[in-house]
């Protein structure tokens, strides 16, 4: 499994080498019985030039699953744009992401299926992942 965190930091319209790499990998990684996990706080960074937008849509379409937690308006619009070829996000999903509490998410099983969900953790997981205390409290 190849994990790329903070992917938005590597999206540069003047140097698309990383975006080109991610684009190529998402199209070929399954052939090698592998997978990718791509993480970003700013989906809107994928909507720059038409070249970046085209590749971002292809990357998303080649991902088996997608998770979107609460989003600011600009990023919500970007996600809506990325899903536009498959019907976009309905009004309920848009409101859910705009008003999402910490841990609430939309889980996409494939491009046409989106499910609202919440992430829960037990006391042991809280100790492992939240060294600054419980987020949101």
Nearest-5° Cα angle at 83, 79 to 87:
135
- Please state the domain extents for the chain: 2-129
Give me 7's structure tokens: 């992917």
Return the number of other C-beta atoms located less than 10 Å from residue 89's C-beta.
Answer: 22
Fold of 2-129: Rossmann fold (3.40.50)
Lowest mean pLDDT among 105-109, 124-128, 133-137: 133-137
Q: What is the CA radius of gyration of the chain?
A: 16
pLDDT at site 99: 93
- Coil, helix or strand for 5? coil
Q: How much is the average pLDDT of 23-33? A: 91
- Residues paired with residue 118 on neighbouring β-strands, in sequence order: 104
pLDDT at site 134: 61
Q: How much is the average pLDDT of 95-102? A: 91
Q: H/E element holding 6? A: none
Residue 96 has pLDDT above 90, yes or no: yes
pLDDT at site 80: 86
């Amino acid at each position: 499994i190849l994990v790329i965190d903070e992917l938005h930091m590597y999206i540069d319209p003047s140097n698309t080498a990383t975006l080109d790499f991610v684009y190529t990998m998402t199209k070929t990684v399954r052939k090698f019985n592998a997978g990718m996990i791509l993480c970003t706080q700013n989906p809107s960074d994928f909507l720059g030039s038409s070249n970046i937008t085209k590749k971002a849509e292809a990357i998303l379409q080649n991902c088996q699953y997608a998770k979107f937690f609460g989003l600011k308006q600009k990023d919500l619009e970007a996600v809506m744009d990325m899903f536009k070829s498959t019907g976009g996000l309905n009004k309920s999903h848009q409101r859910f992401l705009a008003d999402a509490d910490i841990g609430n998410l939309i889980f996409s099983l494939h491009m046409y299926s989106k499910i609202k969900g919440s992430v829960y953790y037990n006391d042991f997981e809280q100790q492992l992942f939240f060294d600054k205390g419980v987020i949101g409290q």
